[in-house]
A and B are shown apart, each in its own frame.
Chain A
């Protein structure tokens, strides 16, 4: 059944957005909560599972990065203009990167999403409705994980990881005469702004005071629930219950896994795995009719997972 893509507002009337096969996962949180560390781990984990993964960051589009840098370096920029620059950047990434990836079935991890813009804007512009309307073209993510960290724990992390900068400290707002107090005041308001959105937009709140590992496991658990559609492959997730599946599905899974291995280990594997792959799948299909159920082995590393009989038999 085709899945209708939900948008925050009017969407993109000129594009076909029904039946986007992939999943959009937004990771939100203030600076210094460890988003990028977690996203790196998630990306690796998902790839090992055989998923295609695309990570997209806030203000990383080719088109806009120069304008945004220019705007940030000189202070002669109106707040609304800056908000629109960010929105343009997001639109560019959405149409040239995120939507094509979702269309081809990738898992897209967004390092910050439009909630970041709304949080920042809610502090700077009194009219929050305007910025919500501007982002009316944005699709609603399948999952929003909000890594929440309180002020006391945030400050040391920021200072350790390179210090406070002008914008992260909200110096443009002239809240205080020194960067430390300004940072404190600004980030506190920002955390409040995120907190205010939790209910309205259905954030999953994750306590970011925990260890990297604990947060990662928590994230994986939540993501697993979202990407476990009927057509998704679910393999080698430790602790996941083994499920019996039909041969046609195995066929699909094997292909996914092989592609993942190829993308991970590069050309060397391509030479070995690719010629063997069709035979591997063929063997499985002939051994079992579609009705037969075979438990699919899990918990193996990709290296161990290549069946021995996948060696070319002609040798």
Chain B
């Protein structure tokens, strides 16, 4: 006595919506950080204050561009998962992960380096500079953890749960890449 299957329409899974909620919340968080950056800037006569060098231009831009390109392998990994090709998906994920880890390693080193020259406790400029940059690095790190976890999951084959996870994590990485561009752009605006 089983009835005929009910008509269905495909739509994005709850997992995608859950990640969108995280993105909305984190986007708002960064919105507040960036608003603070400009609020403090317009309260200060000199920005960056005298004695602090303007942020470097070329290295951050090149690195950000490298990070942004990882959106492509992430999207390809998602496409592979949708087509059921787990091995290909893992390969793309590893490719993205290599660039992301390289970016993160350099940035952590550089962050440490800069702190040695100008401390976070110097003034309002250094406070927001390191807080904003550090928060962005934290989100890159979280993305790396997501990807490592996803690789571990995909090593044992494909389920709908894992496919949804790939969708959500890819979406997260697109967000982090855009976020990094906006954050770096904000910080570089001190040169203008």
A binds B: no
